Amino acid sequence: MQKSNGADSFVSINPLTDGELLSNAADRDKLAFEQLYARYSTILYSLIIRIVSDKETSEKILVEVFLILWRRIEDFERENLFTSLILLARNKALDFLKRRRENTKQPEYDEDYERFKILPNLSKEIKPVKLAEALKVKYEIGEMVKGLTDAQRYVLSLFYFEGLNETEISQKLKIPLLTVRSKLQVATDILLDKTRMLVAKNG
Protein backbone atom coordinates (compact mmCIF):
# COMPACT_ATOMS: atom_id res chain seq x y z
CA MET A 1 0.00 0.00 0.00
CA GLN A 2 2.85 2.36 0.70
CA LYS A 3 4.53 3.48 -2.46
CA SER A 4 7.40 5.81 -3.02
CA ASN A 5 5.28 8.91 -2.83
CA GLY A 6 7.00 11.42 -0.55
CA ALA A 7 3.90 12.45 1.31
CA ASP A 8 2.77 8.88 1.44
CA SER A 9 5.86 7.72 3.22
CA PHE A 10 5.41 9.96 6.22
CA VAL A 11 1.92 8.66 6.65
CA SER A 12 3.28 5.17 6.74
CA ILE A 13 5.74 6.01 9.51
CA ASN A 14 2.85 6.22 11.89
CA PRO A 15 0.70 3.13 11.86
CA LEU A 16 -2.17 4.78 13.74
CA THR A 17 -5.11 5.82 11.62
CA ASP A 18 -6.57 9.32 11.66
CA GLY A 19 -9.49 8.04 13.66
CA GLU A 20 -7.25 6.58 16.35
CA LEU A 21 -5.19 9.73 16.53
CA LEU A 22 -8.36 11.76 16.73
CA SER A 23 -9.71 9.81 19.69
CA ASN A 24 -6.35 10.08 21.41
CA ALA A 25 -6.29 13.80 20.80
CA ALA A 26 -9.81 14.05 22.17
CA ASP A 27 -8.39 12.66 25.41
CA ARG A 28 -6.08 15.66 25.44
CA ASP A 29 -3.14 13.72 24.06
CA LYS A 30 -0.94 16.41 22.60
CA LEU A 31 1.38 13.99 20.84
CA ALA A 32 -1.50 12.58 18.85
CA PHE A 33 -2.52 16.10 17.97
CA GLU A 34 1.00 16.87 16.82
CA GLN A 35 0.89 13.86 14.54
CA LEU A 36 -2.36 15.04 13.05
CA TYR A 37 -0.68 18.36 12.46
CA ALA A 38 2.23 16.64 10.75
CA ARG A 39 -0.17 14.81 8.46
CA TYR A 40 -2.44 17.62 7.48
CA SER A 41 -0.61 20.92 7.88
CA THR A 42 0.94 20.91 4.41
CA ILE A 43 -2.22 20.08 2.51
CA LEU A 44 -4.30 22.55 4.46
CA TYR A 45 -1.73 25.29 4.26
CA SER A 46 -1.36 24.87 0.51
CA LEU A 47 -5.09 25.17 0.08
CA ILE A 48 -5.38 28.19 2.34
CA ILE A 49 -2.55 30.05 0.69
CA ARG A 50 -4.09 29.36 -2.71
CA ILE A 51 -7.27 31.03 -1.49
CA VAL A 52 -5.98 34.02 0.45
CA SER A 53 -2.64 34.34 -1.39
CA ASP A 54 -0.89 35.95 1.55
CA LYS A 55 1.60 34.04 3.62
CA GLU A 56 1.08 35.76 6.94
CA THR A 57 -2.70 35.47 6.83
CA SER A 58 -2.55 31.87 5.67
CA GLU A 59 -0.47 30.96 8.67
CA LYS A 60 -2.92 32.70 10.95
CA ILE A 61 -5.81 30.83 9.38
CA LEU A 62 -3.98 27.53 9.62
CA VAL A 63 -3.41 28.14 13.32
CA GLU A 64 -7.08 28.89 13.77
CA VAL A 65 -8.10 25.77 11.87
CA PHE A 66 -6.04 23.59 14.18
CA LEU A 67 -7.31 25.42 17.23
CA ILE A 68 -10.86 24.77 16.06
CA LEU A 69 -9.92 21.12 15.69
CA TRP A 70 -8.64 21.12 19.26
CA ARG A 71 -11.57 22.99 20.75
CA ARG A 72 -14.25 21.13 18.88
CA ILE A 73 -12.60 17.79 18.55
CA GLU A 74 -15.79 16.07 19.67
CA ASP A 75 -17.59 17.47 16.63
CA PHE A 76 -15.26 15.76 14.19
CA GLU A 77 -16.16 12.37 12.90
CA ARG A 78 -13.59 9.74 13.54
CA GLU A 79 -13.95 8.17 10.17
CA ASN A 80 -13.79 11.18 7.96
CA LEU A 81 -11.19 13.59 9.15
CA PHE A 82 -9.80 14.19 5.67
CA THR A 83 -12.93 15.73 4.19
CA SER A 84 -13.85 17.50 7.42
CA LEU A 85 -10.51 19.19 7.83
CA ILE A 86 -10.16 20.24 4.22
CA LEU A 87 -13.64 21.68 4.03
CA LEU A 88 -13.12 23.37 7.36
CA ALA A 89 -9.91 25.03 6.18
CA ARG A 90 -11.55 26.00 2.91
CA ASN A 91 -14.59 27.51 4.66
CA LYS A 92 -12.41 29.38 7.10
CA ALA A 93 -10.24 30.84 4.36
CA LEU A 94 -13.24 31.78 2.21
CA ASP A 95 -14.90 33.38 5.23
CA PHE A 96 -11.81 35.47 5.76
CA LEU A 97 -11.75 36.40 2.09
CA LYS A 98 -15.37 37.51 2.19
CA ARG A 99 -14.87 39.61 5.27
CA ARG A 100 -11.89 41.28 3.70
CA ARG A 101 -13.57 41.85 0.38
CA GLU A 102 -16.92 43.11 1.48
CA ASN A 103 -17.10 46.24 3.52
CA THR A 104 -20.73 45.64 4.27
CA LYS A 105 -21.69 44.31 7.63
CA GLN A 106 -20.77 40.68 8.00
CA PRO A 107 -22.38 38.36 10.49
CA GLU A 108 -20.58 38.28 13.79
CA TYR A 109 -18.10 35.47 14.17
CA ASP A 110 -19.34 33.70 17.26
CA GLU A 111 -19.82 30.17 18.48
CA ASP A 112 -22.93 29.54 16.44
CA TYR A 113 -21.47 31.01 13.32
CA GLU A 114 -18.44 28.79 13.65
CA ARG A 115 -20.61 25.78 14.33
CA PHE A 116 -22.94 26.21 11.37
CA LYS A 117 -20.98 28.18 8.78
CA ILE A 118 -17.36 27.24 9.27
CA LEU A 119 -17.52 23.65 10.40
CA PRO A 120 -18.46 21.56 7.38
CA ASN A 121 -21.92 20.13 7.53
CA LEU A 122 -20.96 16.64 6.54
CA SER A 123 -23.45 14.25 5.00
CA LYS A 124 -24.76 11.48 7.20
CA GLU A 125 -23.89 8.93 4.57
CA ILE A 126 -20.43 9.82 3.46
CA LYS A 127 -17.89 7.35 2.31
CA PRO A 128 -14.68 7.85 4.25
CA VAL A 129 -11.68 9.00 2.25
CA LYS A 130 -8.26 8.37 3.68
CA LEU A 131 -5.44 10.81 3.33
CA ALA A 132 -3.15 8.16 1.90
CA GLU A 133 -5.72 7.30 -0.77
CA ALA A 134 -6.20 10.91 -1.65
CA LEU A 135 -2.48 11.41 -2.05
CA LYS A 136 -2.37 8.41 -4.34
CA VAL A 137 -4.96 9.77 -6.73
CA LYS A 138 -3.57 13.28 -6.67
CA TYR A 139 -2.22 13.07 -10.19
CA GLU A 140 -5.43 11.65 -11.62
CA ILE A 141 -7.45 14.44 -10.10
CA GLY A 142 -5.15 16.99 -11.64
CA GLU A 143 -5.72 15.34 -15.01
CA MET A 144 -9.47 15.33 -14.43
CA VAL A 145 -9.50 19.06 -13.83
CA LYS A 146 -7.37 19.64 -16.89
CA GLY A 147 -9.95 17.72 -18.89
CA LEU A 148 -12.56 20.41 -18.24
CA THR A 149 -13.06 23.25 -20.67
CA ASP A 150 -11.42 26.54 -19.78
CA ALA A 151 -14.76 28.15 -19.02
CA GLN A 152 -15.82 25.32 -16.74
CA ARG A 153 -12.53 25.38 -14.92
CA TYR A 154 -12.67 29.12 -14.49
CA VAL A 155 -16.18 29.11 -13.08
CA LEU A 156 -15.29 26.27 -10.76
CA SER A 157 -12.24 28.07 -9.47
CA LEU A 158 -14.27 31.22 -8.84
CA PHE A 159 -16.52 29.17 -6.60
CA TYR A 160 -13.84 27.14 -4.97
CA PHE A 161 -10.94 29.53 -4.54
CA GLU A 162 -12.52 32.97 -4.71
CA GLY A 163 -15.61 32.23 -2.66
CA LEU A 164 -17.95 34.04 -5.03
CA ASN A 165 -21.56 32.92 -5.16
CA GLU A 166 -23.41 32.38 -8.41
CA THR A 167 -24.85 35.89 -8.59
CA GLU A 168 -21.46 37.46 -8.01
CA ILE A 169 -19.89 35.28 -10.68
CA SER A 170 -22.53 36.15 -13.23
CA GLN A 171 -21.97 39.83 -12.48
CA LYS A 172 -18.23 39.47 -12.66
CA LEU A 173 -18.15 37.55 -15.92
CA LYS A 174 -21.18 39.39 -17.28
CA ILE A 175 -22.89 36.16 -18.22
CA PRO A 176 -26.42 35.07 -17.32
CA LEU A 177 -26.99 33.31 -14.04
CA LEU A 178 -28.26 30.23 -15.82
CA THR A 179 -25.00 29.89 -17.72
CA VAL A 180 -23.05 29.99 -14.50
CA ARG A 181 -25.30 27.31 -13.08
CA SER A 182 -24.95 25.01 -16.05
CA LYS A 183 -21.19 25.43 -16.16
CA LEU A 184 -20.87 24.51 -12.52
CA GLN A 185 -23.27 21.63 -12.76
CA VAL A 186 -21.70 20.13 -15.85
CA ALA A 187 -18.20 20.52 -14.44
CA THR A 188 -19.02 18.93 -11.09
CA ASP A 189 -20.95 16.12 -12.74
CA ILE A 190 -18.03 15.26 -14.98
CA LEU A 191 -15.67 15.31 -12.04
CA LEU A 192 -18.01 13.26 -9.94
CA ASP A 193 -18.33 10.58 -12.61
CA LYS A 194 -14.60 10.37 -13.00
CA THR A 195 -13.96 10.12 -9.27
CA ARG A 196 -16.50 7.33 -9.04
CA MET A 197 -14.57 5.50 -11.71
CA LEU A 198 -11.32 6.24 -9.96
CA VAL A 199 -12.62 4.93 -6.66
CA ALA A 200 -13.91 1.81 -8.36
CA LYS A 201 -10.54 1.23 -9.97
CA ASN A 202 -8.62 1.68 -6.72
CA GLY A 203 -11.04 -0.44 -4.75
Partner 1 sequence: MDKSKLLYLITLEAMGCISKKDSSELLKSMQSEKKFPWKEMGEYQNLAALLSMVVNQESPAKNLKDLILKEIEKIEKSKLELEIKSDFSLEQKSNVATSKEIQTEINNIPDDKLEQDDSKKNELKIVDHSSEFEEVKAKLFKIKDHQKKTSEPGYQLSEEDIEVIPFVKSEKQKKSGNKLLSKRTAIAASLAFMVIVLSILYFLYFFNDDIEEQKKIATKETEMLISKSRIVPKEQEPVLILRNTEQLEPQNDQPDKLKLQEERNKPEVQPELIEQIKENKSQKPDLPPPEAPDFIEAPLVIEGTEDNSEVNVDHLTTSIPKEQLPPKEEIVVNKEPAYFVAVEEMPEPIGGISGILKKIVYPELAKRAGIEGKVLVLAYVDESGNVTKAEVIKGIGLGCDEAAINAILQTKFKPGLQRGKPVKVQVTIPVTFRL
**Interface pick for partner 1 out of 3, 10, 12, 28 (rule CB under 8 A):** 28
Contact window for partner 1 (CB under 8 A) among 8-16, 42-50, 171-179 = 42-50
Asked if 152 is part of the footprint of partner 1 (rule: CB under 8 A), the reply reads no
Asked if 149 is part of the footprint of partner 1 (rule: CB under 8 A), the reply reads no
Closest approach, Cβ 31 to partner 1, in A, equals 10
Contacts of 198 (CB under 8 A, 6+ apart): 137, 140, 141, 144
Count other C-beta atoms under 10 Å from residue 129's C-beta. Answer: 17
Asked if 75 is part of the footprint of partner 1 (rule: CB under 8 A), the reply reads no
Binding track, positions 93-122, relative to partner 1; x by CB under 8 A: -x----xx--------x------x---xxx
Inter-residue contact 82 to 39 (CB < 8 Å): no
User: Within 13 Å, how many C-alpha atoms sit on residue 8's CB side?
Assistant: 12
Contacts of 40 (CB under 8 A, 6+ apart): 81, 85, 131
Nearer to partner 1, 23 or 117 (CB): 117
Asked if 170 is part of the footprint of partner 1 (rule: CB under 8 A), the reply reads no
